[in-house]
Structure 1
């Protein structure tokens, strides 16, 4: 018997529902990450980013009882949720490796990539404190969080049961373009927030270029997303799941623009609006990621059909 056969026979027996377990864990992690990003936004707009002056503990304790107030709680709870997600990512990677026979071959690698992102995110989280909220680190912290969130959704969407219709056409590439543009727009938005560019521009006429870059960036991201939505409506044979995701993207896009205008006009004075603006932006990005992954899976049906006919 060859070594490869012996290796396969020594792998743990995977239960039939291992794929379901992994899929649920991935989507659960994605929801928790969305909540964590909203919590991080709340920590920033409430000026609580340095409420715990040390890291990884807070005032030298796991639970700072004497110093606890709203700002300290926000920063402490943000760290607690982030740590929980980190351990959950380790569990995901372990399960994906342990039950790899019952999963697509790429799953352990994707889970490991997600784990590396959350580890890097943790490092950036520590640096935001030790470097006193340096704007480039804070922006990178947000960007890595969005990438981790998108990776989780891509993994989960690739694992769900789906039988495409092969009618997606160019929508997969439009979806991918929308993902990139919305992600970049979110990064610029994070830069605006981390540098307080809106306040600086209106107050002392500084950093207006940063603020205007975010405003101008709305245009290509919006046009690409609208193109995706309209072409989805004009594709009669499109799978219902893709149609629902396109409609959801339209809802998030409208809500995001409305929140952005309100936030701009109110000069970031209403904290819940600012928090919602980031959360809806992440939700829009996640919806586009899910659409794009399903669209590429749908395109495989078309390619398989061509090969079968050939």
Structure 2
């Protein structure tokens, strides 16, 4: 059932993941100005004549993002028509379309008018929501009727799950803010910062160190709350396979995420671990969104 929709959904999900990684690549290589201050054209040209690496990275990101925007709209309409009997479909379809548009407008605004580091950091968070919405739409096509898991959890567990989801998004934001404020390497070593438990936070460098330390504390705290979620799931709801596998995946991903984050400090070339860092947190957030979705189900379709 829905073979074409499933295939198209997989293609769109992979495409959106590439968009997300391209955006991270643009930030990490300093290619945001690779097409100048013009949008959607690049230096006012449909195909730019400038042949720098920064231009290639930014131009490719724009072109691919535009194509995926069209794919997301098609997927949303297709899902709306075929899966409207599923409770989450319309909401996810609207989320996918709204956030891909919002994501594009934020990117365009940053190019034309420029934005603060705070707003630019939010751009990655918006991309994470957009990616998660597309993936969940795709999952609904696979779950239709016969395979949709229906669970019954306590209100406390559900509330805690959504707390973890929201907190994860905050951690994503703090990580993006580290990148946009060039605070990635202001602290050498881990867990201490420049061999100090409480480093000097005065001046511009101190501000960047504060941002880095805030993200470290937030990331470590995320690992703890996810560990609690996993223990709670295994002890109380291990008869629900979707919760067990989902919470286990999240726990494994947060460990990988932390390892990738620390490796950025020691790698000769930090680009690869940094992109992997962005990849794992995006997938982790998406799995949490799925757990949140199934935890609200009351009955079978």
* 2:267 corresponds to 1:252: no
Distance 2:87 2:217 in 1: 41
- Give the distance between the partners of 1:173 and 1:157, measured in 2 at CA: 23
Q: 2:133 aligns with which of 148, 151, 154?
A: 151
- Decide whether aligned partners of structure 1 residues 233 and 130 sit closer, same or farther in structure 2, where only a CA change above 3 A counts: same
In structure 1, the gaps of 5 or more residues are 1-16, 305-310
Measured against aligned partners, the alpha-carbon deviations of 1:1-30 in whole angstroms (never above 9, x if no partner) come to xxxxxxxxxxxxxxxx45x65455445433
Task: Give the whole-Å Cα distance in 1 for the aligned partners of 2:80 and 2:251.
Answer: 37
How does the TM-score come out when normalised to structure 2? 0.81
Could you tell me how far 1:121 is from its partner in structure 2? 1.1
Q: Is the 8 A contact 1:157 1:294 kept in 2?
A: no
User: For residue 291 of structure 1, what is the aligned residue in structure 2?
Assistant: 291
Aligned-residue offset at 1:275: 1.2
- Work out whether 1:234 is the aligned partner of 2:235: yes
Which residue number in structure 1 is paired with residue 163 of structure 2? Answer: 177
Query: 1:275-286 alignment to 2 at 5 Å?
Result: 275-286=275-286
Alpha-carbon distance in 2 for matches of 1:165, 1:98:
23
CA distance in 1, matches of 2:85, 2:226: 32
1:1-310 equivalences under 5 Å are 17-18=1-2, 21-22=4-5, 24-53=7-36, 54-64=38-48, 66-99=49-82, 103-104=85-86, 107-132=89-114, 134-158=116-140, 160-161=143-144, 162=147, 164=149, 166=151, 168-169=153-154, 170-199=156-185, 204-235=205-236, 237-265=238-266, 270-297=270-297, 300-301=298-299
Cα shift at 1:40: 1.2
Structure 2 contact 169–285 (Cα < 8 Å) conserved: yes
Q: Distance in 1 between matches of 2:79 and 2:148?
A: 23
Structure 1 residues 86 and 165 mapped into 2: Cα distance closer, same or farther (>3 Å)?
A: closer
CA distance in 2, matches of 1:29, 1:174: 31
Measured in 2, the distance between the counterparts of 1:262 and 1:116 equals 35
Please report how far the alpha carbon of residue 158 of structure 1 lies from its aligned counterpart in structure 2 after TM superposition. Answer: 4.7
Whether contact under 8 Å (1:249, 1:288) holds in the other structure is yes
Q: Would the aligned equivalents of 1:127 and 1:137 in 2 still touch at CA under 8 Å?
A: no
Structure 2 SS opposite 1:147: helix
Q: CA deviation at 1:99?
A: 4.6
Contact 2:183 2:212 in 1 (8 A): yes
Partner of 1:10: none
Work out whether residues 15 and 68 of structure 2, in 8 Å CA contact, stay in contact via their aligned partners in 1. Answer: yes
SS in 2 for 1:205: helix
What's the RMSD between the two structures over aligned residues? 2.8
Shift, 1:188, TM fit? 1.0
Asked if structure 1 preserves the Cα contact closer than 8 Å seen for 2:96 and 2:134, the reply is: yes
Number of paired residues? 280
Structure 2, unaligned stretches of length 5 or more?
Answer: 189-203
Deviations along 1:185-221, whole A, 9 cap, x unmatched? 0011111111112345679433222222111112332
Change (3 A) 1:273 1:130: same
Give the 4+ runs in structure 1 shifted more than 6 A: none
Q: Structure 1 residues 109 and 230, CA, compared in 2 at 3 Å: closer, same or farther?
A: closer
Call closer, same or farther: CA 1:236–1:199 in 2, change over 3 Å: closer
